[in-house]
Amino acid sequence: MIVLDDEAFISIDGPLDGAEAPALQRSVDDARRMGIRRLVVDLANVSSIDEHGVSALAAAATVVRRGLVLLMPDGAVATVDDADSLRALLKVSRADPRG
């Protein structure tokens, strides 16, 4: 995690699954403790996301006060403010494991 003032940047490579989601959750917890207001998560190199990854991203969306910014694999940039908007975005991008 890279921190600059009240913003943090996290880059994820490979699958965001049950094995990797705890590391993301720890980074989100650290960001919350540091008072991070905006969290940018780079998903450009994520090969797949399972329910554990979705849950970790949803938790991140509820922690930060200025939104969770996602850099998507297709190059799109999206800001989500809660778990529902995250799931809608992932469903549209076909990244939500629940279809």
In a domain, 99, yes or no: no
Retrieve residue 74's tokens: 């297709």
- pLDDT, tens digit, 9 for 90 and up, residues 18-43: 999 999 999 999 988 998 889 999 99
- How many structural domains is the chain composed of? 1
Per the model's pLDDT, the better-predicted residue between 73 and 18 turns out to be 18
DSSP conformational letter for 73: T
Residue 94 CB-density burial (10 A; 0-12 exposed, 13-18 middle, 19+ buried): exposed
Domain that holds residue 68: 2-92
Which CATH number fits the domain that encloses residue 48?
A: 3.30.750.24
What share of the chain has pLDDT > 70, as a percent?
91
56-82: average pLDDT: 86
pLDDT-based confidence at residue 98 (cuts at 50, 70, 90)? low
Q: Model's pTM, two decimal places?
A: 0.84
